Amino acid sequence: MSDDLIRLTATEAVARLRRREVSPLELVEAAAARIAAVEPAVNALPTLCLDRARDHARRIMAGEGAEKAGQPGWLGGLPVSIKDLTDVAGVRTTYGSPIFKDHVPTTSHPVVQRIEALGGIVIGKSNTPEFGAGGSTFNEVFGRTRNPWNTSLTCGGSTGGGAVSLATGEAWLAQGTDHAGSLRRPGTYCSVVGIRPSPGRVTRGSVNNLFSPLSVQGPMARNILDLALFLDTMASWDPTDPLTYDAPAVPYAEAVRATGAWRPRVAFTLDYGGALAVDRETRAICEAAIGRFAELGCVVEEASPELGELAEALLVLRSQHFVVDREIQLRDRRDLLKPDIVWNTERGLAATPSQLAWADRERARFYREMARIFGRFDVFVTPSAPTPAFDVMLRAPESIAGRKLDNYMGGSMLNATMTLAGSPAVAVPCGFDQHGRPVGLQVAAPPRREEVALRAAALFEQASGLDRLLPIDPRPGVVPPPEA
């Protein structure tokens, strides 16, 4: 019975909860059994809070929160995972850092408060790189999280543990964060879906970068309808976050269900006119997948906005985030910070006012280019990662398509472009390479038009059927050789 339950989609499980065909406690026990079975192979949820989850399940079964059962995003007792960057009251939350290895917050992050108020049950904390910095999920507190499609490979980062918890059936939904692809690349590497919402769509609560649009909170799931459901759970105005605004009049899950005969106008690029390195096989798989939109009756045209010096602008702007967040730790606990965080923070401290001003001008230029594209097209589609999952022992790929990377952020620009454009962007699976590694598309829409990106991704998902492969049992394998 528990195996049958973990194979339900989130939408199916919530429907059964509403009809009382299954109880929240039964789902918690099904998740616990699955975690015990697969966790030794993947290390996705290193911190569990199953007794806390059981207590919450019993409260829901006793009628707690029943007055909210008609709201969009009501989960009714569905188990979810929460990224270890995000506070859960009474549950060890380390941020992946030795500095906070024993930290137990007394108050939950506002997004967790909202998820729990709408019937989500937290079963555990998902693994993340230290302070979320990195494209591969490992840290000095909990070690490495492995890709269930091939446990010799990375699951990506930084919401890597969340992606793996979904792909293996440990949880039905996963909360995460995204700065330069942290909800999208792990989704691609694990063949699940994730959306980076527009800044302000989901509260970031008590972070110190409250007025910056770069880092956001968001959902991951096994399919697009489940993703829309969880975004409905999270989306709201919140007084603790000045960028937030009201949830949409039409819930995202309702918009996805109403996709029907709608056919979006699709612009695409595979590599921004050669400006970004993308593996040959990934290019071929993604090009064929984009062709599916044309087969479905969509207008599909290539469009390549000028990247210019956007990669350098990202590093300048991103490094200021690290100054705000890590300057004090760099001063007081430098020996406990990993080199990437030291590098980013020192880079930010060395930036001049002219460099900061230039980076903002470069970001504004690119935003205007994307606005012109969105004036003609509904969505903008690219590969969701430039290369499939790489060796789990590496912090980043050493090269992509023969081009050596200058730094650990070198493989993130396909995702970071949409971060800098302020666009909501969905990662959706589109196939597998010759070694069985998942490949995905990134479907972006104009700012605050999450429903457009979700509907277009759902249209593709319905045609591909790849969501029906999940969940999977972890599979051992070898590391394929890098593409020359």
Helices 413-420 and 310-333 sit at what angle, rounded to 10 degrees? 90
Q: Catalytic annotation on 354?
A: no
Interstrand relation of 300-302 and 266-268 (parallel, antiparallel or unpaired): parallel
d(CA 414, CA 410): 10
Q: Catalytic annotation on 83?
A: yes
Q: Catalytic annotation on 182?
A: yes
- Give the number of residues written for the chain: 484
The catalytically annotated residue of 81, 108, 136, 182 is 182
Tokens of 231: 């975004």
d(CA 273, CA 303): 9
The catalytically annotated residue of 83, 97, 126, 212 is 83
> b/e for 381-410, b at 16 or more Cβ within 10 A?
bbbbbbbbbbbbeebbbebbbeeebeebbb
The catalytically annotated residue of 81, 126, 136, 158 is 158
Burial class (CB in 10 A: 0-12, 13-18, 19+), 34: buried
First-last CA distance in the chain: 47
Which residue carries 């408060």 as its tokens? 113
> b/e for 334-358, b at 16 or more Cβ within 10 A?
eeebbebbbbbbbbbeebeeeebeb
Q: Please report which helix (H) or strand (E) contains residue 178, including its range.
A: strand 173-178
Sheet holding 379-383, edge to edge: 47-48, 120-126, 78-83, 173-178, 216-221, 193-196, 425-432, 438-444, 379-383, 266-268, 300-302
State whether the Cα torsion 296-385-129-449 is positive or negative: negative
Half-sphere exposure for 72 (CA within 13 Å, toward CB): 20
Q: Closest by alpha carbon to 396, among 130, 187, 134, 131?
A: 134
Query: Which residues fall within 8 angstroms of residue 178, CB to CB, at 6 or more apart?
Result: 159, 184, 194, 196, 215, 216, 218, 419
Interstrand relation of 120-126 and 78-83 (parallel, antiparallel or unpaired): parallel
Q: In this structure, which amino acid lies at residue 76?
A: G
Would you give the distance in Å from CA 258 to the centre of its chain?
24
Active site residues: 83, 158, 182
